Amino acid sequence: KIAMQIVEIMKVMEARHPVVMATRVSAEKSAEIQAALPQATYFEMARICAIQPSVPLAIRPGKLSILTAGTADLPVAEEAAVTAELCGFQVTRPWDVGVAGIHRLLSNRHVIDQSDVLIVAAGMEGALPSVVAGLADCPVVAVPTSVGYGASFNGLAPLLTMLNSCATGIG
């Protein structure tokens, strides 16, 4: 969509809901949107342009944590985190805790133990969600990303790894 189409959609939606989001928005397009809708906020890493209520939404129950295997997974993870926060959820963000440095994940075991839902973004071989699900007693949403080199096949390898996981609670 071009910026003005997004603006028109956001105007209609704003009249009906306190939170409106446009995802996968470039910085250039967000500048055009914000020129027409100065109340819009741009979340650069998440690539989200959003209109938020003047009074924050009530905090929803439960604790959501979003983990990434590496820093290259941040845009996808941050999109999920900002979306959840705009919807009223509290989010914890342990970034760069992939299996290549398992000590980083294990030092965040308390985050896993205290979470009600975990979202785990990983590219390369996509092993992190299975490892996290093996440690967690809550649902784990596995999110493959298209980062990686060698045989990651633009995200196909992590997707297949996650689909073939035998860890309980992973989806």
Per-residue model confidence as pLDDT tens digits over 81-90: 999 999 999 9
Spatial separation of the C-alpha atoms in residues 107 and 110, rounded to whole Å: 8
Same structural domain, 91 and 31: no
pTM exceeding 0.85: yes
Quote the mean pLDDT of the chain: 92
Q: What is the DSSP letter of 170?
A: B
Say what the pLDDT of residue 150 is.
Answer: 67
Spatial separation of the C-alpha atoms in residues 116 and 129, rounded to whole Å: 15
Closest alpha carbon to 37 in 55, 13, 57, 1: 13
The separation between the first and the last C-alpha atoms of the chain, rounded to the nearest angstrom, is: 30
Same structural domain, 88 and 124: yes
Same structural domain, 38 and 116: no
Spatial separation of the C-alpha atoms in residues 153 and 128, rounded to whole Å: 17
Same structural domain, 106 and 146: yes
- Give 98-118 pLDDT, tens digit per residue: 988 999 999 999 999 999 999
- Range(s) of the domain holding residue 119: 64-164
Q: How many domains does the chain have?
A: 2
Same structural domain, 94 and 139: yes
Query: Which residues of the chain fall below pLDDT 50?
Result: none
